[in-house]
Structure 1
Amino acid sequence: MRQFALSCVLAASLALPAFAEEVTIATAQGDVTLPAQPQKVAVFDIAAIDSLNALGVAVAGAPDNTYMPYLQDATKDAAKIGTLFEPNLETLAGLGPDLIIIGGRSAAQKAAVEQVGTTIDMTISPDLLTDAKARIDAYGKLFAKTDEATALNATLDEKIAALQEASKGKGKALVILTNGPKMSAYGKGSRFGWIYDATGLPEAVENLKVGSHGDAISHEFIAEANPDWLFVIDRGAAVGAEGQSAEATLTNPLIEGTNAWKNGRVAYLPPANMYISGAGYNSLVETLDQLTAAVSK
């Protein structure tokens, strides 16, 4: 009888789920404790997919469009779980993810998707360089890839140092975004202000409005600022929209009179990298390399 009771206890214990090891990681909304090494992950943030891909972590669910060609290849076997703005909750529920990652454009959908499963917000702040590395560290810890994460961040540090060295004494910069014929300028502390941090170049115009949409500007504004460097992001090209290109928008006598234009220092940054997946590891590496090549001429 006693042996039978022991057998029943043993059988019952084997039937219970094993307690997974837990880890605490930093997110955009503070530290969160999660079961380590989730097996089935659905991701609504392009930068997160990028960095996870660099770490060798496959995602089980991804947005219908990841915009970046190399990420479309990386997610070809993943379930399509809707867009960054409209998650497909039915498909997501059918996938049964152990973890859902949101961030940036998809962050507003947290209340909706967390009905399906555990959700973390990995939004990147304007302090992009710091946050990009922090997210890589968090993913490394979560997926037991801390050595890989350390190596990726070391590469980022090396590339930033090389860019800043190449940028020394190269004058002042202005970062702008074009959207067809419209233009906006971005200063330090804004969405694209990390370019000043990465290059070390001072602003051609200080005290620009801090916000995701920047300061609306004109050709006259750029002419008056007369930057030594003009870093350009083409929103239309980033999202595949039809309309006037950044080059066409900037081809204007007023801008052609600036130091940046006359000295061949107008740099068109990779659009989707900047606008869609700026803090993703592979995206950031490509952008830093292009910046270094530009300022080294």
Structure 2
Amino acid sequence: MTQPLTPACWRASAAAALATSLFAAPAAFAQTPSPKAPATITVQHAKGSTVVPLAPQRVVVYDLASLDTMQALNLPVTALAKANFPRYMQAYADARYLPAGTLFEPDFDALSQIRPDLIVVAGRSAGKYDILSKIAPTVDLSVNNQQLLADMQRNVMALASLWGKQAQGEQLMQRVRSEVESTRALAQQQAPGLLVLAISTMINAQPPGARFGLLHDVLGVKPAIPADASKPRGVPMKMEDISQLNPAWLYVIDRNAGTGSTTGRDGKPVVASTELFNNEAIRNSAAGQQGRVVFLDPQVWYLLGVAGPQAMLQTTAQLKAVWSPR
């Protein structure tokens, strides 16, 4: 027969029950599911690979060609390097996009306020990859002009995959490849051309393999001068050299128009390419007489290096227009 508990025994039993419940509680809490870790994706880029959260919310961009891609795919941008944007990217000059430095120098104070979950660098900003990757996941979307379309494909699909827009990215690149192919076919019907980069009155020809040699290497324009591996940034030329060469086509990139510079390093006003090449020697050349002096979009060429999909489409459209029968 069970004996009724005495007051002392009751107190001991209650204390034991309370102790049991207290020690059992942590086990119950330990079994509660922890907050789900954010999904991530591994992005392949010019410096290797980086684990990046899917659909990053605070994105900082230090490259205009990458920004070109993000605009084309309607991807979010929080902050960016301020620059002389081409016409089709003027929306990024709006104050709603936070300033984060320049294409060469990040603003680290701004980055500490933004707390990015993705930083994009390339080209001019690629040298800051190591220090920026210590702040947030960073990808380097630099391109090699000798494999420009392959690198552009990699970069477009890398950005598209972060927001689940692979189908749109592939569709965009299919259009780019198609336009490049048709441009190359049309280029083969044209006489050889000379591409020059003008920095005020300084002129550098850009043959195949040079910094802007993609006009020949990618777009198929026949070169008026051969490649020169010893001069990857171009071959210095004077106006008399161009006159003697007498190219059938003359393509010009105005560096200062691209950057928006109005004075040179010497403090003197720069000379616009439209003025520089408006002279008797050029007017009397084969290109001048046929109206074949073509001023390429300076921002697209100098700042973006034609490395963004929209930049490439704008370039193919301009070339097709100037090559069309009049």
Distance 1:241 1:169 in 2: 36
Distance 1:256 1:227 in 2: 12
Is residue 280 of structure 2 the alignment partner of residue 261 of structure 1? Answer: no
Q: Give the AA of the match of 1:290.
A: Q
Identity %: 27
Aligned with residue 213 of structure 2, among 193, 208, 222: 193
Aligned with residue 84 of structure 1, among 78, 97, 103: 103
Match of 1:292 in 2: 320
Q: Cα gap change, 1:223/1:129 in structure 2, threshold over 3 Å: closer, same or farther? A: farther
Match of 2:69 in 1: 51
- 1:184 deviation in Å? 0.6
Per mean C-alpha deviation after superposition, the further-off stretch among 103-112 and 55-64 is 103-112
Match of 1:174 in 2: 194
- 1:197 deviation in Å? 3.1
Match of 2:279 in 1: 252
In the alignment, structure 1 segments of 5+ residues that lack a partner are none
Distance 1:294 1:263 in 2: 11
Distance 2:93 2:260 in 1: 20
Match of 1:159 in 2: 179
Aligned with residue 120 of structure 1, among 130, 139, 145: 139
Q: Give the AA of the match of 1:220.
A: E
Aligned with residue 26 of structure 1, among 21, 39, 44: 44
Aligned pairs for 1:88-237 (under 5 A) are 88-127=107-146, 128-209=148-229, 213-237=233-257
The answer as to whether partners of 2:85 and 2:299 remain within 8 angstroms in 1 is: yes
Is residue 25 of structure 2 the alignment partner of residue 4 of structure 1? Answer: yes
Q: Cα gap change, 1:129/1:194 in structure 2, threshold over 3 Å: closer, same or farther? A: farther
- 1:257 deviation in Å? 3.4
Is residue 311 of structure 2 the alignment partner of residue 283 of structure 1? Answer: yes
Q: Give the AA of the match of 2:257.
A: A
- The SS at the match of 2:83 is coil
Distance 1:199 1:265 in 2: 17
Per mean C-alpha deviation after superposition, the further-off stretch among 206-215 and 160-169 is 206-215
Distance 2:142 2:79 in 1: 18
The answer as to whether partners of 1:163 and 1:198 remain within 8 angstroms in 2 is: no
The answer as to whether partners of 1:172 and 1:201 remain within 8 angstroms in 2 is: yes
Q: TM-score, normalised by structure 2?
A: 0.83
Q: Give the AA of the match of 1:134.
A: R
The answer as to whether partners of 1:209 and 1:215 remain within 8 angstroms in 2 is: no
- The SS at the match of 1:191 is coil
Which has the greater radius of gyration? 2
The answer as to whether partners of 2:250 and 2:287 remain within 8 angstroms in 1 is: yes
Q: Cα gap change, 1:108/1:189 in structure 2, threshold over 3 Å: closer, same or farther? A: same
Q: Give the AA of the match of 1:205.
A: I
Distance 2:90 2:230 in 1: 32
Distance 2:49 2:55 in 1: 17
Q: What do the CA deviations read for 1:191-230 (whole angstroms, capped 9, x no partner)?
A: 2111113432221100235656312111122123322221
Q: Cα gap change, 1:142/1:290 in structure 2, threshold over 3 Å: closer, same or farther? A: same
Distance 2:231 2:135 in 1: 32
Distance 1:23 1:211 in 2: 40
Q: Cα gap change, 1:274/1:213 in structure 2, threshold over 3 Å: closer, same or farther? A: same
Distance 1:104 1:251 in 2: 32
- 1:285 deviation in Å? 1.4
Q: What do the CA deviations read for 1:96-134 (whole angstroms, capped 9, x no partner)?
A: 111111111111222332332121211122233332232
How many corresponding residue pairs?
294
Q: Give the AA of the match of 1:280.
A: G
The answer as to whether partners of 1:190 and 1:210 remain within 8 angstroms in 2 is: no
- 1:190 deviation in Å? 1.9
The answer as to whether partners of 2:82 and 2:93 remain within 8 angstroms in 1 is: no
Per mean C-alpha deviation after superposition, the further-off stretch among 144-153 and 74-83 is 74-83
